[in-house]
Amino acid sequence: LLRVGSTLFNREELLGRTIDSINLGSMFKRIFNWIIAVDDEATPAHNLLDWYRRAIPYSLSKLKVPVILTVGVFVSAFIVGYIFSQQPQWRIPLPESQTYDSVSDTFAFITQQSLKPASVAFIIWQNGRVLLLALILSIFSLGVAAFVIPPAVYAILGFLLGQLLLAGYDLALFLAAIVPHGIVEIPMIILATAAMFRLGAISTRPPQGMTVGQAWTMALGDTIKLAIGVIIPMMFVAAILEAYVTPLIVSQIVR
């Protein structure tokens, strides 16, 4: 708390933020400069290929520690959810030892409903609004919200896994429902969460030689860059897999 307070409220930083507020007219230009930057000097990418070849890896390299923290939080949330599922008072009364034949009709209906373009749009909307909410809250919570909202999804997954295993369902059914689209969606959410955390937390410890405002502008540019170049494309791919591939694999498992 002392370090955060001294960073946020020392005289030099306050003066720097005052100067930043005077230059609000150039704020969007500075953000754009960081969106296309390929190095710490904000050198712009020459073209789209150069942007993907140098600018994206440059921003990804700043997320090494946030990604490690994010993976740790997600794994912990999953384990906590699973532990809760083993408590008798939290057990859901699922039909025990239900055969695949008895649920095949249900999954056939779900598959028919999923294999529609509208399902892709719905999945993108659901994932997008959750990440957007987490992003907004992370900005105002110094990154804390990034480790509250997205990890809740994995706590629920851990809880559901425990419930299904207790009811006698095969682990293959759970994996079939998660892995096909999860191979894209999970890394996407990890990257998004790590970027949110960095954006919110960077004001507590800006890079040496930067004011809080300058550091936050750089982090926002990096976040937008990764959203446009990596996260949103991965979100579309994951939604297509979830709507068209996952239901087919699950239906094959339950037959």
User: Residue ranges per domain, the chain?
Assistant: 63-254
What are the pLDDT digits (tens) for 204-236?
888 888 888 899 999 999 999 999 999 999 999
Cα 46 from chain centre? 29
Contact 198, 215 (CB under 8 A): no
**Predicted local distance difference test score (pLDDT) of residue 99:** 52
Q: What is the CB-side half-sphere exposure of residue 221 using CA atoms within 13 A?
A: 25
**Predicted local distance difference test score (pLDDT) of residue 116:** 59
What are the pLDDT digits (tens) for 20-62?
455 666 888 999 999 999 999 989 999 999 999 999 999 999 9
Name residue 37's beta-bridge partners. 44
